[in-house]
Amino acid sequence: MNEKKIQHVAIIMDGNGRWAKERGLPHLHGHREGAEAVQRVVEAANEYGIEYLTLYAFSTENWKRDPEEVGGLMNLLLEFLQTQLETLQKNNIRLKAIGRLKQLPEEVYQLLMRVIDETSKNTAGTLVFALNYGGRAEIADAAARIAEDAKAGKVDVDKIDEKLFSQYLYAPEIPDPDLMIRTSGELRLSNFLLWQLSYSELYVTDIYWPDFGKEDFAEAIDSYYRRNRRYGGRK
């Protein structure tokens, strides 16, 4: 049995579009219902005392979607930030974001930075949005920053190791996820936290994200605790 307390849960929130399609609804309706699921899961994580919850909200590849859908997603993000600031403050939750954030629309970026700043001193937990995020992009960005520091004489190339490299990731202060949940049944990482998920436990459910609730979150947590994490050992 796994006795280590879960500190960090990461989630690939998949299935909004298929949820909407099966009901004959526009994709954006699925995304709006997905935003409701975000609120439920944030509450559940808080109830479990989980310190970090990272949600894959918008990938670097999502820009390839229909412009109307992308615009709708950005508007939903604005709406979430505008309406949930009070909830985050009331529940003492800090907001952070990882990704190539400056490439987001200016209005989204500015509001995101304001909410991050206003919740920065909260201590009950941290909600992390992966926005304009890609695992390969994060690794490439880290490598570029190390190269810059090496060129400036700030880094000894002979001393570059995994520990040093990890300090150049988007949020080096956040521990690697203990558990990664993916909804909608897809069995792939989809370029999410490729460095950080090296030893994370994976949990996949066929449930579409808009239908994912507190009971489903609890089942994923229970699944984690039923496992024996060996980290390459033979116990």
Question: Which position among 14, 16, 132, 216 bears the catalytic label?
Answer: 14
14 tagged catalytic: yes
Question: Which position among 2, 16, 46, 62 bears the catalytic label?
Answer: 62
Token pair 């559940």: residue: 44
Structural tokens at position 112:
């995101």
Q: What is the Cα–Cα distance from 175 to 105, expressed in whole angstroms?
A: 29
DSSP 3-58: -SPP-EEEEE---HHHHHHHTT--HHHHHHHHHHHHHHHHHHHHHTT-SEEEEEEE
Beta strands 93-98; 8-12: pairing state? unpaired
Positions marked catalytic: 14, 62
